[in-house]
C-alpha cells in the first residue's frame, strides 16, 4: 500500500513537471544512428538538429541563421567562417574550427563508410578524395586559427551556406571518435553535444530524453526544459490513442482520421511524379506515348478526390511551389500550372505512336509502385484513366520498399511512381535530378541541352539569370514530358494547444522545438477566444 502511495505521488510529481516546460513526443522509428557523419534518415536529422549545431542553423522564423559561426564572408569559390568564442560542447570544451575540419575530412575518407559524403562534393577535392584519387588532407577546408574556417569550393555554389546547416556538416569531437571507435554515437554518452539540448538517456527502442544544454551559447532562446520521446511506434492507432490520452503533444495522422479537429497542416515540399523509363526499346522512350499519358487525367481529381488529404497540391513542374534560387521563388516568377486533360490530343499522340511502331493494339504498360495503401489508390486511378481514355492495359506491380528500389535500379518498369524530397534550400536539389550524370535519374532521361542548363546554373551566381535558367529547365522537361508531376505533399497533424512556437522545417530537422514552449494553464485560458 505504501509503495502504491509512493507511486501515486511520483505520478503527481511528474505531472507538475510536465506543466513547467517539458514536451513529450512519439517517434515512429528509432533513429538507426545518431552519428552525424553516417546518418541519412529524417529521425536522426530531427534529433541532431536539437542536439548539435553547425556553422549555421535555423532561427525562430524558420530561416537560416548564424549557428556556431557568428559571421562569414562568401566569395564565388571561397568562404570564410568566423566562429563565436562562446560556443561550447556540453562538457565545457570550446567548439573550435578543428572540430569541423576533422568531421568533414573523415566523411570524405574512403576508408570510412559515409553514405551522405556526396553532400560535401561542392568542397574542393571532395569527390576525388571519396574516389581514392587524393588524400583526405587535400580537402578544401582548413582552420586558419581556432576560430576561423576557410573553405575552398570546387566551383561556385549558390547554396553552400544552406548546406552548412545540414547534419552531415556538423562538428565532431575527435576524442570521442577515438575513444569509442565503431560504437561512436551508438549511445547517449558516446558523443559530445553542442546544440540546444543534450541527450540525457537513450533506451534503445523505447525512449530518448533530451535536456536543455546549459553549455549552449544561445541557451536563453531555449524555453523547454526537456523533450521526452517516450514512445517509439509506427502504429497509427497507438499514436492517436496516445494523443487522445494527453501522452504526446504532436501526432501525425493519416487519411483515416481527417475528421478530427483541429487539424494542422504543413506543406512538406516533396514532389511526387511519374518517372518514365527511357531505356532504348522501352515504349516509354517514345515522346508521343509519354505525352498521351500526360493528357488523360485531371490533376485536380487526383488530388481532391483520390488522395483527398488537405494540404496536398497539384504539381505542374519539377520545382514545387516553395522552391527558390538565390531568393527568387521559381513558381512565383515563372508559374507552370499542371497540364490540363485533353483526351482528343492524347488519342492523336497515341495514334502517332502506334503508327510509328506498327502496332495494332495499344501496348501494355508496366506501372511500378510501392505497397502503401495511398500509392495503390493512385496507381489504380491512373490505371483506370489510361484504360478508359486510351485503352492501354496497365499492369500494376506493387512492391515492398527494398524490392521496389531494386526493380527501379534494374530498370524493370515502364512507369514508376516516384517521390523526391529536397536535401537543401535551392532549386538545384530538384533540377539535377534529371541530369544524365545523376545516379538518381533512374529513368535514364538524357539531354545534352538539359545537362548544359544544369551545369550553367551550378556556377551562375546572378539571381535573375539563374532563375531564368531554372525556368528553361522546367520548360524543356515539359516539352519532352521527361516526367509527369503529380502532386506536392503535406503533413497533417494534431498539436497540443498548450505547445506553441513549433517551427516546421523542410530541410532536415523537422519539427524544430528549440524555440517552442508549453503555455501555463493561465496562459492557455487567456489564449482561448
Partner 1 sequence: MMRYLLNRILYAIVTIWFVATATFFAMHFVPGDPLSNEKVIPEKIYATLQAYYGLDKPLGEQYLIYMQRLLQGDFGVSFTQQNRSVNDIIAEHFSVSAILGLLALIFALFGALIFGSVASIWRRRWPDTATVLGVMVAVSVPSFVFAALAQLFIVEMNQFTGWQVLPVAGWGSISHIWAPALMLGLGTMAFLTRLLRGSLIDTADQPYVLAAQARGLPPWRCFLRYQLRNALLPTLSVMGPTIAGITTGGFVVEQVFAIPGLGRYFVQAVAQLDYTVIMGTTVFYGAFLVIVVLAFDLLYAWADPRIRISRDMT
Examine residue 2 and tell whether it contacts partner 1 (CB under 8 A): no
CB of 120 to partner 1, least distance (A): 11
Q: What single DSSP character describes residue 251?
A: E
Which of 209/336 has CB closer to partner 1?
209
Quickly count: other Cβ atoms within 10 Å of residue 261's Cβ. 6
CB of 181 to partner 1, least distance (A): 9
C-alpha to C-alpha distance for 90 and 103, rounded to whole angstroms = 18
Number of residues that bind partner 1 (CB under 8 A): 57
Specify the DSSP element, H or E, that contains 161: helix 160-163
Write out the binding residues for partner 1, residues 166-185 only, by CB under 8 A: 182-185
Q: Binding string, 283-312, against partner 1, x = CB under 8 A?
A: ------------------------------
Residues 6+ positions from 405 with CB-CB distance below 8 Å: none
C-alpha to C-alpha distance for 257 and 210, rounded to whole angstroms = 30
Residues 6+ positions from 442 with CB-CB distance below 8 Å: 275, 408, 409, 411, 416, 418
Which of 242/468 has CB closer to partner 1?
242
Examine residue 444 and tell whether it contacts partner 1 (CB under 8 A): no
Which of 178/402 has CB closer to partner 1?
402
User: Which of 49, 442, 478, 506 is close enough to bind partner 1 by CB under 8 A?
Assistant: 442
Specify the DSSP element, H or E, that contains 162: helix 160-163
CB of 506 to partner 1, least distance (A): 16
C-alpha to C-alpha distance for 389 and 330, rounded to whole angstroms = 33
Which of 133/462 has CB closer to partner 1?
133
User: Which of 237, 255, 279, 527 is close enough to bind partner 1 by CB under 8 A?
Assistant: 237
Examine residue 398 and tell whether it contacts partner 1 (CB under 8 A): no
Cell of 360: 495494332
How far CA 159 is from CA of 3, 154, 385, 458, in Å, comes to 59, 13, 40, 9
C-alpha to C-alpha distance for 454 and 472, rounded to whole angstroms = 10
Quickly count: other Cβ atoms within 10 Å of residue 389's Cβ. 18
Examine residue 238 and tell whether it contacts partner 1 (CB under 8 A): yes
Which of 301/441 has CB closer to partner 1?
441
Give phi and psi for 424, each to the nearest 5: -150, 165
Q: Binding string, 3-32, against partner 1, x = CB under 8 A?
A: ----x---x--------------x--xx-x
CA angle (259 as vertex; 254, 262 as ends), nearest 5: 95
User: Which of 207, 329, 333, 398 is close enough to bind partner 1 by CB under 8 A?
Assistant: 207
User: Which of 85, 204, 219, 395 is close enough to bind partner 1 by CB under 8 A?
Assistant: 204
Examine residue 78 and tell whether it contacts partner 1 (CB under 8 A): no
C-alpha to C-alpha distance for 335 and 482, rounded to whole angstroms = 18
CB of 121 to partner 1, least distance (A): 9
The window from 90-98, 210-218, 229-237, 289-297 that contacts partner 1 (CB under 8 A) reads 229-237
Cell of 317: 513542374
Which SS3 state, helix, strand or coil, does residue 238 take?
A: helix
Which of 184/217 has CB closer to partner 1?
184
User: Which of 9, 60, 135, 244 is close enough to bind partner 1 by CB under 8 A?
Assistant: 244
Residues 6+ positions from 398 with CB-CB distance below 8 Å: 369, 370, 371, 375, 376, 379
Residue positions counted in the chain: 529
Write out the binding residues for partner 1, residues 400-419 only, by CB under 8 A: 400-403, 405-407, 409, 419
Cell of 458: 551550378
Q: What single DSSP character describes residue 109?
A: -
User: Which of 23, 38, 318, 483 is close enough to bind partner 1 by CB under 8 A?
Assistant: 38
CB of 465 to partner 1, least distance (A): 29
User: Which of 20, 115, 310, 335 is close enough to bind partner 1 by CB under 8 A?
Assistant: 115
DSSP string computed for 53-86: --SEEE-TTSSEEESSEEEEEEETTEEEEEEPTT
Q: Where do contacts with partner 1 occur on this chain (CB under 8 A)?
A: 7, 11, 26, 29-30, 32-33, 35, 38, 40, 110-115, 117-118, 130-132, 182-186, 203-207, 230-235, 237-238, 241-242, 244-245, 247, 400-403, 405-407, 409, 419, 423, 439-440, 442
Amino acid at each position: 500500500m505504501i509503495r502504491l502511495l509512493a507511486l501515486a505521488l511520483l505520478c503527481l510529481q511528474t505531472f507538475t513537471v510536465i506543466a513547467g516546460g517539458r514536451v513529450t513526443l512519439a517517434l515512429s522509428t528509432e533513429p538507426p544512428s545518431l552519428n552525424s557523419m553516417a546518418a541519412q534518415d529524417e529521425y536522426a536529422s530531427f534529433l541532431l538538429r536539437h542536439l548539435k549545431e553547425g556553422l549555421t542553423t535555423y532561427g525562430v522564423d524558420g530561416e537560416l541563421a548564424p549557428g556556431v559561426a557568428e559571421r562569414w564572408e562568401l566569395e564565388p569559390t571561397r568562404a570564410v567562417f568566423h566562429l563565436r568564442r562562446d560556443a561550447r560542447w556540453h562538457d565545457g570544451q570550446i567548439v573550435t574550427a578543428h572540430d569541423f575540419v576533422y568531421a568533414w575530412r573523415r566523411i570524405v575518407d574512403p576508408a570510412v563508410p559515409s553514405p551522405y559524403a556526396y553532400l560535401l562534393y561542392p568542397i574542393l577535392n571532395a569527390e576525388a578524395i571519396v574516389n581514392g584519387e587524393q588524400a583526405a588532407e587535400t580537402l578544401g577546408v582548413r582552420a586558419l586559427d581556432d576560430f576561423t574556417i576557410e573553405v575552398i569550393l570546387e566551383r561556385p555554389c549558390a547554396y553552400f551556406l544552406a548546406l552548412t546547416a545540414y547534419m552531415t556538416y556538423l562538428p565532431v569531437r575527435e576524442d570521442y571518435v577515438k575513444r569509442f571507435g565503431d560504437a561512436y554515437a551508438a549511445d547517449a554518452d558516446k558523443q559530445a553535444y553542442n546544440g540546444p539540448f543534450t541527450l540525457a538517456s537513450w533506451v534503445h527502442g523505447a525512449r530518448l530524453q533530451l535536456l536543455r544544454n546549459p553549455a549552449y551559447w544561445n541557451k536563453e532562446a531555449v524555453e523547454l526544459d526537456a523533450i521526452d520521446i517516450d514512445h517509439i511506434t509506427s502504429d497509427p492507432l497507438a499514436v492517436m490513442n496516445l494523443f487522445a490520452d494527453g501522452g504526446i503533444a504532436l501526432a501525425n495522422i493519416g487519411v483515416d482520421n481527417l475528421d478530427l479537429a483541429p487539424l494542422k497542416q504543413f506543406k512538406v515540399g516533396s514532389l511526387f511524379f511519374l518517372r518514365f523509363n527511357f531505356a532504348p526499346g522501352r515504349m516509354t522512350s517514345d515522346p508521343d506515348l509519354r505525352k498521351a499519358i500526360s493528357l488523360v487525367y485531371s490533376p485536380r481529381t487526383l488530388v481532391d478526390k483520390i488522395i483527398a488529404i488537405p494540404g496536398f497540391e497539384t504539381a505542374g513542374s519539377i520545382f514545387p511551389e516553395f522552391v527558390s534560387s538565390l531568393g527568387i521563388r521559381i513558381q512565383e516568377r515563372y508559374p507552370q500550372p499542371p497540364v490540363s486533360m485533353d483526351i482528343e490530343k492524347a488519342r492523336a499522340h497515341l495514334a502517332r505512336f502506334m503508327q510509328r511502331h506498327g502496332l495494332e493494339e495499344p501496348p501494355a504498360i508496366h506501372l511500378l509502385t510501392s505497397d502503401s495503401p495511398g500509392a495503390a489508390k493512385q496507381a489504380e486511378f491512373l490505371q483506370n484513366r489510361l484504360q478508359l481514355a486510351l485503352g492501354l492495359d496497365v499492369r500494376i506491380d506493387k512492391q515492398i520498399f527494398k524490392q521496389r528500389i531494386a526493380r527501379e535500379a534494374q530498370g524493370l518498369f515502364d512507369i514508376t511512381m516516384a517521390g523526391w524530397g529536397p536535401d537543401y534550400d535551392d532549386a538545384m536539389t530538384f533540377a539535377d535530378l534529371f541530369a544524365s550524370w545523376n545516379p538518381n535519374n533512374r529513368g535514364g532521361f538524357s539531354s545534352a541541352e538539359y545537362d548544359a542548363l544544369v551545369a550553367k546554373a551550378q556556377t551562375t551566381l546572378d539571381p535573375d539569370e539563374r532563375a531564368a535558367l531554372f525556368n528553361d529547365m522546367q520548360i524543356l522537361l515539359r516539352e519532352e514530358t521527361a516526367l509527369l508531376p503529380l502532386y506536392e505533399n503535406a503533413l497533417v497533424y494534431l498539436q497540443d494547444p498548450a505547445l506553441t512556437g513549433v517551427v516546421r522545417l523542410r530541410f532536415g530537422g523537422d519539427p524544430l522545438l528549440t524555440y517552442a514552449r508549453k503555455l501555463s494553464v493561465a496562459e492557455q485560458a487567456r489564449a482561448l477566444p
